[in-house]
């Protein structure tokens, strides 16, 4: 029997993950339909996507741009509902127009919509790792209350999901010894601190294997991306911090591994193309063609694995430290990192100062227990304020 057509909200449709998701959706009109598309400010990009995918609702996060979007859509002959603002975006994630939500907004801005999708029992395809880093327990609680399901889209977590029996089982009962996240090492793998002193945003965003948005590209260059992913793995799979390892694998063909008590190590392999993880998560538990070329292991050369250099790439060590501290320390780490990356991309902070800034904020705001979303958002705000002050003093 063919499964019913999934009605999919793509939050962050104009981004890198959004584009890959829409590519997979368009390949399977009998299985998937994009019913809600959203963007922050890119009116032209969103209008073009609406003309191609004909959603029922388009949401632009910046309310000042709603009129412009409506006008563009009218001119293109697209008759969909138009809304604007953060609340409209959150409501769309929980609303009746979709049964599946692809959380592909970048940064903490994606938290409310991820939570709303979880609470309302949708299938949540989580790319927006920042929301689970910030609010891991709250997000899992919302998911349990809503009765929906979370399928990770981050390639490493999607790989682990595929290597575990039944997706997100009890690790102890399943005989899992370790989760091993692979990392490409980013564009600066092998460099010394001295060689990193003057690197530019464009150099940091030139990832050797993956094509991604600018924020995650910088996170990959600092290894903060892997740090956020260690925290993400902790919450997604209930893994204690000491059972999550990172292995640098520059070819980016092995997307992660699971080590079992009996000595078996299961890995998921594939070309570095996010459409594989997205297609897996959209179609799960079935499989569909993702449009990804076949992995040719005979042609790929040697697969190399090495330990990460935590002394040069301090962000990964800081993320482990925040996870060990617990409470809202991961949220503080995330907020400080977002400010630092923004400043680096704007040319206002040297690459090597990114971990320094994050560390200063973690020191100034010792961990507190996570009580609810409101207090977490307040702590996120405080962390950004401290980060901006430290930045001003450093200039």
What are the residues binding ligand NAD (CB under 6 A)?
12-18, 39-40, 42, 61, 104-106, 109, 127-130, 154, 210, 212-213, 215-216, 274
Give CA separation, 128 vs 109, 132, 266, in Å. Answer: 9, 8, 25
Nearer to Mg ion, 112 or 154 (CB): 154
The secondary structure element, H or E, covering residue 58 is: strand 57-60
Return the one option of ligand NAD, Mg ion, none that residue 114 interacts with (CB less than 5 to 8 A, by type): none
Residue 260 main-chain phi, psi, to 5 deg: -105, 165
Nearer to ligand NAD, 274 or 319 (CB): 274
Residue 283 main-chain phi, psi, to 5 deg: -95, -15
Residue 385 main-chain phi, psi, to 5 deg: -65, -45
Nearer to Mg ion, 232 or 259 (CB): 232
Which residues make Cβ contacts (< 8 Å) with residue 251, sequence separation at least 6?
Answer: 209, 300, 301, 303, 304
Reading the block at residue 257, the tokens are 């591994």
Return the one option of Mg ion, ligand NAD, none that residue 210 interacts with (CB less than 5 to 8 A, by type): ligand NAD
Give CA separation, 280 vs 27, 290, 295, in Å. Answer: 14, 8, 16
Tell me: does residue 66 bind Mg ion (CB under 5 A).
no
Nearer to ligand NAD, 6 or 207 (CB): 207
Among 146-154, 327-335, 345-353, 365-373, the segment contacting Mg ion (CB under 5 A): 146-154
Q: How far is the CB of 123 from Mg ion (least distance, A)?
A: 20
Q: How far is the CB of 279 from ligand NAD (least distance, A)?
A: 14
Nearer to ligand NAD, 358 or 360 (CB): 358
Tell me: does residue 56 bind Mg ion (CB under 5 A).
no
Return the one option of Mg ion, ligand NAD, none that residue 357 interacts with (CB less than 5 to 8 A, by type): none
Q: How far is the CB of 58 from ligand NAD (least distance, A)?
A: 12
Q: How far is the CB of 163 from ligand NAD (least distance, A)?
A: 18
Nearer to ligand NAD, 213 or 238 (CB): 213
Q: Are 53 and 22 in contact (CB under 8 A)?
A: yes
Return the one option of ligand NAD, Mg ion, none that residue 17 interacts with (CB less than 5 to 8 A, by type): ligand NAD
Return the one option of ligand NAD, Mg ion, none that residue 127 interacts with (CB less than 5 to 8 A, by type): ligand NAD
**For residue 183, which of 227, 230, 226, 221 has the smallest C-alpha distance?**
226
Q: How far is the CB of 190 from ligand NAD (least distance, A)?
A: 22
127-136 burial: b if 16+ Cβ within 10 Å, else e: bbbbbbbbbb
* 3-class secondary structure, 35: strand
Tell me: does residue 154 bind Mg ion (CB under 5 A).
yes
Instruction: Report the distance separating Cα 24 and Cα 13, nearest Å.
Output: 13
Nearer to ligand NAD, 244 or 360 (CB): 244
Q: How far is the CB of 270 from Mg ion (least distance, A)?
A: 13
Q: How far is the CB of 186 from ligand NAD (least distance, A)?
A: 13
Reading the block at residue 336, the tokens are 């400080």
**For residue 100, which of 27, 13, 32, 19 has the smallest C-alpha distance?**
32
Return the one option of Mg ion, ligand NAD, none that residue 213 interacts with (CB less than 5 to 8 A, by type): ligand NAD
Q: How far is the CB of 247 from Mg ion (least distance, A)?
A: 13
End-to-end CA separation in angstroms for the chain: 63
* 3-class secondary structure, 171: coil
Q: Is 33 left (phi over 0), alpha (psi -120 to 50) or beta?
A: beta
Nearer to ligand NAD, 167 or 213 (CB): 213
Q: How far is the CB of 174 from ligand NAD (least distance, A)?
A: 25
Nearer to ligand NAD, 210 or 284 (CB): 210
Per-residue x/- marks for Mg ion, 176-195, CB under 5 A?
--------------------
11-25 burial: b if 16+ Cβ within 10 Å, else e: bbbbbbbbbbbbbbb
Binding residues for Mg ion, rule: CB under 5 A, are: 154-156
């Amino acid at each position: 029997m063919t499964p019913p057509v999934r009605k999919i909200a793509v939050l962050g449709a104009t981004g890198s993950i959004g584009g890959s998701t829409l590519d997979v959706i368009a390949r399977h009109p009998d299985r998937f339909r994009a019913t809600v598309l959203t963007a922050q400010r890119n009116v032209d990009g969103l209008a073009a996507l609406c003309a191609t995918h004909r959603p029922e609702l388009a949401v632009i996060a910046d309310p000042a741009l709603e009129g412009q979007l409506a006008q563009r859509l009218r001119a293109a002959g697209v008759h969909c509902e138009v809304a604007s603002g953060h609340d409209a975006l959150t409501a769309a994630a929980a609303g009746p127009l979709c049964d599946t939500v692809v959380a592909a907004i970048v940064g903490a801005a994606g938290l409310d919509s991820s939570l709303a999708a979880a609470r309302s029992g949708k299938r949540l395809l989580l790319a927006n790792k920042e929301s689970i880093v910030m609010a891991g327990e709250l997000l899992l609680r919302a998911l349990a209350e809503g009765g929906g399901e979370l399928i990770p889209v981050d390639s490493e977590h999607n790989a682990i999901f595929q290597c575990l029996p039944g997706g997100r089982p009890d690790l102890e009962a399943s005989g899992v010894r370790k989760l091993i996240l692979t990392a490409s090492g980013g564009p600066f793998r092998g460099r010394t601190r001295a060689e990193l002193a003057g690197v530019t945003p464009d150099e940091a965003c030139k990832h050797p294997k993956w094509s991604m948005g600018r924020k995650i590209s910088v996170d990959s260059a600092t290894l903060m991306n892997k740090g956020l992913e260690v925290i993400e793995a902790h919450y997604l799979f209930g893994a204690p911090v000491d059972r999550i390892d990172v292995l640098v694998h520059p070819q980016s063909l092995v997307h992660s591994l699971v080590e079992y008590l009996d000595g078996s190590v299961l890995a998921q392999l594939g070309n570095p193309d996010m459409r594989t993880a997205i297609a897996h998560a959209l179609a799960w538990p079935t499989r569909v063609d993702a449009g990804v070329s076949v992995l040719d292991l005979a042609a790929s050369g040697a697969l190399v694995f090495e330990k990460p250099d935590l002394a040069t790439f301090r962000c990964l060590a800081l993320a482990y430290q925040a996870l060990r501290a617990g409470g809202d320390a991961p949220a503080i780490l995330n907020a400080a990192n977002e400010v630092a990356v923004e400043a680096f991309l704007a040319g206002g902070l040297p690459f090597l100062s990114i971990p320094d800034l994050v560390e200063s904020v973690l020191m100034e705001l010792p961990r507190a227990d996570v009580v609810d979303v409101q207090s977490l958002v307040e702590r996120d705000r405080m962390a950004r304020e401290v980060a901006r002050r430290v930045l001003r003093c450093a200039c």
